[in-house]
Amino acid sequence: MQASKKILMFVGDYVEDYEAMFPFQALTMLGYIVHTVSPGKQAGETVKTAIHDFEKEQTYSEKPGHNLLLTATFDTIEPHKYVGLVIPGGRSPEYLRLNERVLQITRYFFLTNKPVAVTCHGPQILIAADVLKGRLCTGYPGLKPDLILAGAIWGEVDETLSNVYVDGNLVSSASWRGNPEWMRQFARLLAGKGYGF
């Protein structure tokens, strides 16, 4: 497979299980090589995932998920070798955004107009990277004030939490309930840039 068919995915402990596992498997099925990376961890190590669900409480519930294998080492990745970036949600974005290299790599994908897929709490990284001014973006409803303060145009979320929006190189989703459409639109962006199969 050509080096130009690699996708980068930021993950960390307690990343949302469905939001990491589904894109990893779907993109691999389509023929991409997906590199899951986490600051401070090496290829072959794992991160713990969490399953977030919507069970009529005022916010989501959290249950133990799986151990997600890291397929590359964060410190050695070269962003120019990747055709797209995936940022799942869960609890990991709140601390991954504190890593300056995570933010630099995120900015690179926006500066080069390469496809970026973000969901749920993943926009916390985009907010910290300051790449959302004037951009349509959605996420978990609790992020609405943060996204608006960051200059984003909020993509409304209905009771299904499955809303997906596309704005240029960015495809955003409210939660794992939107996974099929989220990845369908991301694959379309990749194909539109000449990175499809």
Catalytic residue among 35, 52, 120, 137: 120
CB 74 within 8 A of CB 40: yes
DSSP 8-class letter at 78: -
User: Rounded to whole angstroms, how far apart are CA atoms 141 and 62?
Assistant: 17
* Confidence at residue 99, expressed as pLDDT on a 0 to 100 scale: 98
Q: Which domains does the chain show, CATH number per domain?
A: 3-192 (3.40.50.880)
Cβ burial of 55 (10 Å; 0-12, 13-18, 19+) is exposed
* Confidence at residue 1, expressed as pLDDT on a 0 to 100 scale: 39
Q: What is the mean pLDDT of each run of 10 residues along the chain (197 residues)?
A: 78 98 98 98 98 86 93 98 98 98 98 98 98 98 98 96 97 97 98 93
Q: Known catalytic residue: 137?
A: no
* Confidence at residue 197, expressed as pLDDT on a 0 to 100 scale: 82
Catalytic residue among 35, 52, 121, 137: 121
C-alpha distances out from residue 88 to 3, 16, 47, 126, 172, Å: 23, 7, 13, 12, 10
Instruction: Transcribe 9-48 into DSSP letters.
Output: EE--TTEEHHHHHHHHHHHHHTT-EEEEE-TT--TT-EEE
Q: Known catalytic residue: 80?
A: no
DSSP 8-class letter at 70: P
pTM for this prediction:
0.95
C-alpha distances out from residue 8 to 30, 53, 145, 156, Å: 15, 26, 28, 27
